[in-house]
Amino acid sequence: MRAFVTVIGKDKVGIIAAVCNLLAEKKANVLDISQTILQENFTMIMLVDISACSVSFDEMSRLLSELGSSMELSIRIQREEIFNAMHRI
Amino acid sequence: MINQHEILQTIEMIDQQHLDVRTITMGISLRDCCHSDANTSCTKIYDKICRLAGNLVKTGEQISSEFGIPIVNKRISVTPISMIAESSDAESYVPFAKAMDKAAKEVGVDYIGGFSALVHKGYTVGDRKLINSIPEVLASTDVVCSSVNVGTTRAGINMDAVRDMGLIIRRTAELTNGFGCGKLVIFCNAVEDHPFMAGAFHGVGEPECEINVGVSGPGVVYEALKSCKGQPLDVVAETIKRTAFRITRVGQLVAQEASSRLGVPFGIVDLSLAPTPAIGDSVADILQQIGLTSVGAPGTTAALAMLNDAVKKGGVMASSNVGGLSGAFIPVSEDAGMIAAAKAGKLSIEKLEAMTCVCSVGLDMIAVPGDTSAETLSGIIADEAAIGMVNNKTTAVRIIPAIGKTVGDAIDFGGLFGSAPIMPVNTCSPAEMIARGGRIPAPLHSLKN
C-alpha cells in the first residue's frame, strides 16, 4: 500500500530528519521525496510504501499528526488512491 | 505520477473548501421482516439492521482516515415500513419506528430513513396507518426520517394524500414545535436509491443490501469559478463540469472501498451539490459567483439550470453507477447564502418554486409562519408535485410551520439542518380545491409545450 505524506508549515531545522526518523522507525519505506518553499511555507511531499509498516494506518496517521503539532507543522498521510482518483482518468 | 500541485490542490479542497463525502448510506431490504405479530416483526427489523450495519460506522471512519477525506454522515435506508408493518394487525406503527430508532442508535448511524409509504395512486390499509403514525413517530424518535410519495408522472397526483399530508405536517409541527417537520419529506417521483435524508428509503426493486454514496462540494465549485471571472457562460459550465468530475471521483472511490470492505454491493453515487450552513459551502454563493448580486435575482433559474446540468455532465463520467437525486440542492436553512437572501427578502417561496423546476429536489427546509393552514401547506405540496409530475423529475417538499413564530423570526435546528428565517406565504386560500380530494390524472407525454 502506498501513501503520500505531506508536511506543510514554517521552515526550520530538522523537519526532514524528524519525519524520516519516524517513518524509518515504523518501517515505512520512502520511495520519493520533493521539497520546496511555497508562498513562504515549507512544503514537503513524500511517497511512502507502508506495506511493511509495523503500526496500523490510523496509528501512523496519529503519530505523524502528533509530530506535526510538536513542530508547529501540518503533517498528514493519505492513501495514494484519492489523488489518482481525482486527477487521473 | 501525481505532481505536487495536484496533491496540494486536493488538500486545499478538503481543508479550505469543505470537500467531503456527505454520506455513506446502507440500503437494507426489510422484506423478510414481515410478521403477523407486530412485536416479532419489530424484533426482526432491529436484528437485521444491527446485523447488516454493525460495521458501517467503523468502516466509514477507517476509509475517512486512510484517504484523508471527511465522511460526514453514515446512514441507513430501509424498505418503506408501510409494506412491512401491514402484515401485522398493529393499529399504530410507532413501535416499528422505535425499533428502527433503537437499531440506528445501536449501530451508531446519524439517521435512518424509510418510515415511508408510496401512495401516488391510492392507500393500502398499511399506508393509512403509517401516515397517521407520522406525527407521533417524529415526536417520539430521534433519528428516524419519514417520507411519503404522493404523485408520479405515470400515475398522476393523489390529492387525498396531498390533503392528508397538509394535516400531518401541521400535527407534526404542533407536537414537535416545528422541528419534526425537518425529518418529513413529501415526494413526487420519489427515487428508490438515493442516500440523502430525510427522504431516503430502500425501494422494492433494490437488492438485499447495498451501499449508496452522496458527494458534496459547493465550496470547491465556488473556488474554481473564481478563476473564470468575466468569461462566457460556456467557460463557466466547462469549469463546473471539470470540478464535478473530481468531486465525484472521490465519491466513487469511497463507495467502492466501502462496498468491498463491507462485502455489500455498490449501488450508486448521487451527484449532488449538497450545501451546509458553513460559510463557503453554499450553492447560493456559486450562483452569486456566476454574477448575481443575490440568489433570487432575475437570472437565478437560468444560472441554476446550467449549474445543475454541468454537475451531472461532469459527474456522470466519474462514476460507474450514477443515480439517486443527482443535482444541486437548494435547502434554505442549510445554505448560508440562501439564509441571507431569504432574511433580506430577496428570495421568495415562489422564486424557489421556479428554481425547483430545473434542479434537485424541491422546496426544502423552508420555514413558514406557525399559523399557516393545513390547506395552504397542501396547496404548496400540490404545486410542487405538479412540477415533478409534468416535468418527469423528482420534486419534494420539506416545509416547517414554525409554531408561535411569524415573518421576521427564525427557527434554529442546529447542526447540518441550520437555521431558517420564516418566509412569507401567499395568504389566499386553496381550501376549496384541497377539500375536493381525488386524483389529478397523469399528464400526456406527447404534444409537449
Query: CA-to-CA distance for B424 and A64, rounded, in angstroms?
Result: 53
Task: Answer whether B210's CB lies under 8 Å from B266's CB.
Answer: yes
CA distance B216 to chain A (A): 14
Q: DSSP string covering B222-249, please?
A: HHHHGGGTT--HHHHHHHHHHHHHHHHH
For cell 446550467, name the residue.
B306
CA distance B67 to chain A (A): 5
pLDDT tens digits, B324-362: 888 888 999 999 999 999 999 999 999 999 999 999 889
Interchain contact, A6 vs B253, CB within 8 Å? no
Interchain CB contact of A77 with B (< 8 Å) = yes
Q: Can you tell me whether residue B19 is helix, strand or coil?
A: coil
Which residues in A lie closer than 8 A to residue B67 (C-beta atoms)?
Answer: 78-79, 81-82
- Smallest Cβ–Cβ distance between B67 and the set A36, A38, A82 belongs to A82
Burial class from Cβ neighbours inside 10 Å (0-12, 13-18, 19+) for residue B440 reads middle
Interchain contact, B4 vs A45, CB within 8 Å? yes
- Smallest Cβ–Cβ distance between B66 and the set A79, A85, A88 belongs to A79
Please, which residues 10-29 of chain A have a Cβ atom closer than 8 Å to chain B? Answer: none
What are the residue ranges of helices labelled H in B297-373?
Answer: 300-316, 336-343, 349-355
CA distance B28 to chain A (A): 28
Q: Which residue of B has its CA nearest to A45?
A: B4
> What is the average pLDDT score of chain B?
94
What are phi and psi for residue B103, nearest 5 degrees?
Answer: -65, -40
Mean pLDDT of B120-145: 98
Domain count, chain A: 1
Helix B233-262 with B56-67: angle, nearest 10 deg = 130
Res B361: pLDDT? 82
Interchain CB contact of A69 with B (< 8 Å) = no
Interchain CB contact of A34 with B (< 8 Å) = yes
What are phi and psi for residue A81, nearest 5 degrees?
Answer: -60, -30
Q: Kindly tell me the sign of the dihedral angle through the C-alpha atoms of B321, B323, B328, B329.
A: negative
What are the residue ranges of helices labelled H in B55-93?
Answer: 56-67, 81-85
Q: Provide the CB-side half-sphere exposure for B215 (13 A, CA).
A: 36
Host H or E run for residue B171 = helix B159-176
Q: Using the predicted structure, report yes or no on whether residue B180 has a pLDDT greater than 90.
A: yes
Domain of A12, CATH number, reads: 3.30.70.260
Mean pLDDT of A54-77: 94
Q: Give the domains, in start order, of chain B with CATH numbers.
A: 25-188 (3.20.70.20), 214-440 (3.20.70.20)
Q: Using the predicted structure, report yes or no on whether residue B278 has a pLDDT greater than 90.
A: no
pLDDT tier, B70 (very low <50, low <70, confident <90, very high otherwise): very high
Query: Which of residues B417 and B10 earns the better pLDDT score?
Result: B10
Which residues in B lie closer than 8 A to residue A88 (C-beta atoms)?
Answer: 2
Res B409: pLDDT? 94
Q: Can you tell me whether residue B225 is helix, strand or coil?
A: helix
What are phi and psi for residue B296, nearest 5 degrees?
Answer: 110, -20
Res B130: pLDDT? 98
Interface ipTM: 0.90
- Smallest Cβ–Cβ distance between B11 and the set A3, A6, A87 belongs to A6
Interchain contact, A85 vs B11, CB within 8 Å? no
What are phi and psi for residue B37, nearest 5 degrees?
Answer: -100, 120
Rg of chain B over Cα atoms, rounded to whole angstroms, equals 21
Domain housing A9: 2-87
Query: CA-to-CA distance for B42 and B40, rounded, in angstroms?
Result: 5
Task: Answer whether B66's CB lies under 8 Å from A62's CB.
Answer: no
Which residues in A lie closer than 8 A to residue B246 (C-beta atoms)?
Answer: 86-87
Q: Which three cell numbers stand for residue B409?
A: 423570526
- Smallest Cβ–Cβ distance between A85 and the set B4, B9, B252 belongs to B252
Q: Which three cell numbers stand for residue B384?
A: 410542487
pLDDT tens digits, B294-329: 999 999 999 999 999 999 999 999 998 998 888 888
What are the counts of helices (DSSP H) followed by strands (DSSP E) for chain A? 3, 4
